[in-house]
């Protein structure tokens, strides 16, 4: 029963310890969440940059008359 935080009396030492661990875990999760968000934003920026480079490069390639145009992205971007 002592390991169950709900059954521990308020103000006891065990409950305080459990709350501290809980708070510490949430702080760590907040840090991880922030790092994941920043990483995703960075990757989105890199992908957009690469897509722009590909788009610029493909638009500058001379096409022989009569060559069918192919959308390498299938209209998804």
Can you list the alpha helix ranges (DSSP code H) found in 2-70?
13-59
Task: In whole angstroms, give the CA distance from residue 19 to residue 73.
Answer: 51
Q: Is the dihedral of CA 26, 30, 32, 37 positive or negative?
A: positive
Tens of pLDDT, residue by residue over 48-62, are: 999 999 888 877 777
The pLDDT of residue 4 is 54
Tens of pLDDT, residue by residue over 63-72, are: 777 777 777 7
Q: Average pLDDT in the 19-38 region?
A: 95
Share of the chain above pLDDT 90, in %: 43
Q: Is the pLDDT of residue 10 over 50?
A: yes
Per-residue pLDDT band at 23 (split at 50, 70, 90): very high
2 vs 23: which has the higher pLDDT: 23
- As given in the structure block, the two tokens for residue 72 are 């390498």
């Amino acid at each position: 029963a002592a390991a169950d935080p709900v059954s521990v009396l308020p103000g006891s030492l065990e409950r305080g310890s459990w709350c501290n661990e809980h708070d510490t875990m949430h702080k760590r999760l907040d840090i991880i969440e922030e790092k994941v968000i920043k990483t995703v934003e960075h990757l989105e920026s890199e992908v957009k940059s690469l897509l722009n480079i590909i788009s610029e490069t493909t638009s500058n390639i001379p096409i022989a008359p009569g060559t069918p145009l192919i959308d390498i992205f299938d209209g998804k971007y």
